Chains A and B, each alone.
Chain A
Amino acid sequence: MSRKPFIRPVPTASWWLHQGRYTRYMIREATCILIGAYSAVLIVGLMRLGEGKVAYDAYLATVQSPAGMLFHIVALAFALYHTTSWFNVTPKAMPLVYAGKRVPGGLIIGAHYIGWAVVSVILLVLVGA
């Protein structure tokens, strides 16, 4: 009896649409594009600030336009998804053992959210002051 194994074709372009978990993964990975774009917009803002008041006011006007607002809302949504999806996998990447027992995953994730809140408050105080 001869062997003739059959190799199934791989959907190289559409594989990530075949399962919910693949699609969620691709969205998580794609969030970095929006975060990169947001960083670029921020860097342009710094450059305009360096060029003087007129340039910076023009930049602010662009950012506050409907399109600018829409971009920032979408970027914020993607950043939140990016952050929470990575926080939620931290217990897998960094499991802690304390007194011979595994620290529960929820505690590790919770610590990240607390850290996030603390840093946010500090930043808000710095910016507001």
Chain B
Amino acid sequence: MNADTDIKTRIIEIEILRYNPETDIEPAFQTYEVPCHEDWVVLDAVNYIKDEIDRTLSYRWSCHMAVCGSCGMMVNGEPTLSCHSFLRDHPDKLRIEPLANFPIERDLVVVMDDFIDKLKSVKPYIVPREKRSIDDGTHTQMPAELAKFKQYTLCINCTLCYAACPQYMLNEGFVGPAALALAHRYNLDSRDVGASAREDVVASNPGVWECSFVGACSDVCPHDVDPASAIQQAKIAGVLDYFKSFLMPKGEAKQ
């Protein structure tokens, strides 16, 4: 208890967008005065509200260490992992909303079905050249081959990039940053031959060509995956493949 009293606290006024699908017609803000410790993250303050002030508040969280990707929220208008954002970096007033560009299920919980469907559509797994058995042993890869795509493996599917993307906001058909970055990650993998199977989704209009390189996805990504870079590279790869198909109409270089 003594240790507790030593820690500096600050009253932060936290506005949270609440929505109860059973009783509300539309969401509305509710304000809480929260005595916050300076070493807390935003998620700690939300947990305090849930534990001490209002048990009806719904939100997703799990790991509290920027690994699980479930506690994404709009904090003062910015897509943020709430466990990854210290209160000492925020003013005395916080406005917390569910991640933008997704339907609200309840309070801070959003409906992620659209993202999950898009993720599935890019086949985010290794499509192997030939069927291998366990007896074949591990599939070796050189460090240089790994370096090509390692950055894009760090995605935790937190969907902050979708909440930041104005293209996704204006056009829900857009496949979107995280899914396209993962498609690119597997296309770059030396063990994978699935590029042609992903092409229909990735190299299409709702795929990479819908992206106009605002770059907001990369700004908000908590793991510096840089989806914007993956999409621009996929555009270049798509153009090269298009011209190659004229030069080598019968070429089946990619399987």
Q: Is A22 interfacial (CB 8 A cutoff)? A: yes
Chain B residues 82 to 139 lying within 8 A of chain A, measured CB to CB, are 100, 103-105, 111
Complex partner residue of B236 from A4, A22, A94, CB under 8 angstroms? A94
CB-based contact B218/A5 at 8 Å: no
CB-based contact A3/B21 at 8 Å: yes
Given the known inter-chain contacts A5-B21, A6-B104, A15-B170, please indicate yes or no for A22 contacting B216, CB distance below 8 A.
yes
Q: Is B206 interfacial (CB 8 A cutoff)? A: no
Task: Name the B residues within 8 Å of A18 (CB-CB).
Answer: 77
Given the known inter-chain contacts A92-B229, A95-B233, A100-B147, please indicate yes or no for A5 contacting B104, CB distance below 8 A.
yes
Q: Which residue of B lies closest to A21 (CB)?
A: B216
B206 to chain A minimum Cβ distance, whole angstroms, is 17
Q: Which residue of A lies closest to B213 (CB)?
A: A89
- What is the size category of the interface that chain A forms with chain B? 20 to 34
Given the known inter-chain contacts A25-B214, A97-B147, please indicate yes or no for A7 contacting B229, CB distance below 8 A.
no
When each residue 16-38 of chain B gets 1 if its CB lies under 8 Å from chain A and 0 otherwise, what string results? 00010110101100000000000
CB-based contact B148/A97 at 8 Å: yes
Task: Name the A residues within 8 Å of B214 (CB-CB).
Answer: 21-22, 25
Task: Name the A residues within 8 Å of B111 (CB-CB).
Answer: 5
Task: Name the A residues within 8 Å of B22 (CB-CB).
Answer: 1-2, 4
Q: Is A8 interfacial (CB 8 A cutoff)? A: yes
Task: Name the B residues within 8 Å of A7 (CB-CB).
Answer: 103-104
CB-based contact A3/B219 at 8 Å: no
| A19 vs B235: C-alpha distance when bound (angstroms) | 26
Q: Which residue of B lies closest to A18 (CB)?
A: B77
How many residue pairs link A and B with beta carbons under 8 A? The number is 77
| A101 vs B144: C-alpha distance when bound (angstroms) | 8
CB-based contact A93/B147 at 8 Å: no
B219 to chain A minimum Cβ distance, whole angstroms, is 6
| A1 vs B21: C-alpha distance when bound (angstroms) | 9
CB-based contact B232/A92 at 8 Å: yes
Task: Name the A residues within 8 Å of B77 (CB-CB).
Answer: 18-19
Chain B residues 211 to 229 lying within 8 A of chain A, measured CB to CB, are 212-216, 218-219, 226, 228-229
Chain A residues 14 to 73 lying within 8 A of chain B, measured CB to CB, are 15-16, 18-19, 21-22, 25, 29
Q: Which residue of A lies closest to B144 (CB)?
A: A100
Task: Name the B residues within 8 Å of A29 (CB-CB).
Answer: 212
| A128 vs B111: C-alpha distance when bound (angstroms) | 64
Q: Which residue of B lies closest to A11 (CB)?
A: B169
Task: Name the B residues within 8 Å of A16 (CB-CB).
Answer: 166
Q: Is B251 interfacial (CB 8 A cutoff)? A: no
Known: A4-B21, A10-B169. 12 other contacts (CB 8 A): A5-B104, A6-B24, A6-B27, A6-B103, A8-B104, A18-B77, A92-B218, A92-B229, A92-B232, A93-B236, A94-B236, A95-B233
List, sorted by A's number, 23 A–B pairs whose CB atoms are closer than 8 Å: A5-B103, A5-B104, A6-B19, A6-B103, A6-B104, A10-B170, A12-B170, A15-B169, A18-B77, A19-B77, A21-B215, A22-B216, A25-B215, A89-B213, A89-B228, A93-B213, A93-B233, A93-B235, A94-B236, A97-B148, A100-B143, A101-B147, A102-B147
